[in-house]
A and B are shown apart, each in its own frame.
Chain A
Amino acid sequence: SQQGEEDPQALSIQEGENATMNCSYKTSINNLQWYRQNSGRGLVHLILIRSNEREKHSGRLRVTLDTSKKSSSLLITASRAADTASYFCATDEGSGGSNYKLTFGKGTLLTVNP
């Protein structure tokens, strides 16, 4: 089944460093989204990248998508302690599946140390 898998499962860095998280998925997609979750509660949408896009920026976030490798990366530059959270990628089911269902990976737990 379609599923995003994040890598690494956990990442610990110092404030000011960059954080890179990766997501791999199995079948074709129309778009991929990244979400952030604080303290096991509600998720907050960060950014969406479409299958015909290769890179997208939003503030300190940079997302890349390689559809040939079925992978995406999320880069957070100049990290802050407040960036500490779990980060999830979510993929749709592509042209062969539903046009509404998203599948979330298990997430990367990012810890930014002051």
Chain B
Amino acid sequence: GAGVSQSPSNKVTEKGKDVELRCDPISGHTALYWYRQSLGQGLEFLIYFQGNSAPDKSGLPSDRFSAERTGGSVSTLTIQRTQQEDSAVYLCASTLVGWGTDTQYFGPGTRLTVL
């Protein structure tokens, strides 16, 4: 596709519900990142996928968070039993190779609000 897309753009949910956030990276990009951005804050690294390698899950804040990437393309971030502190903008980025020198191409984000 032309760019990274994410859906939904906004999600309002009740505390305790599960949510799924989707990311479609740029076609041909082998690496995909998920970040979380709380209001007025920087980006917090969540998880990194690169090709068929085991993902780096070191940034996931709790076991309520999980992510998968099917077929090396689309990724889904799942948050189970959502809490109010999970409210944030969740950003996805893809890069061609996945090195620190790569330009990261970001999607528009999903704004999650947990009531």
B28 CB to nearest chain A CB (Å): 17
**B70 contacts the other chain (CB 8 A):** no
Residues of B within 8 A of A93 (CB): 100
Q: Which of B35, B50, B89, B100 contacts A31 (CB 8 A)?
A: B100
CA distance A102 to B98 in the complex (A): 10
Interchain CB contact under 8 A, B100 and A98: yes
Interface range on chain A: under 10, 10 to 19, 20 to 34, or 35 or more? 20 to 34
Give the contacts of B8-42 with A (CB-CB under 8 A): 31, 35, 37, 40-42
CA distance A83 to B64 in the complex (A): 38
Interchain CB contact under 8 A, B37 and A40: yes
CA distance A106 to B41 in the complex (A): 5
CA distance A101 to B31 in the complex (A): 11
Q: Mark A30-70, 1 if CB is under 8 A from B, else 0.
A: 11010100001111110010100000000000000000000
Residues of A with Cβ closer than 8 Å to B? 30-31, 33, 35, 40-45, 48, 50, 88, 90, 92-93, 98-107
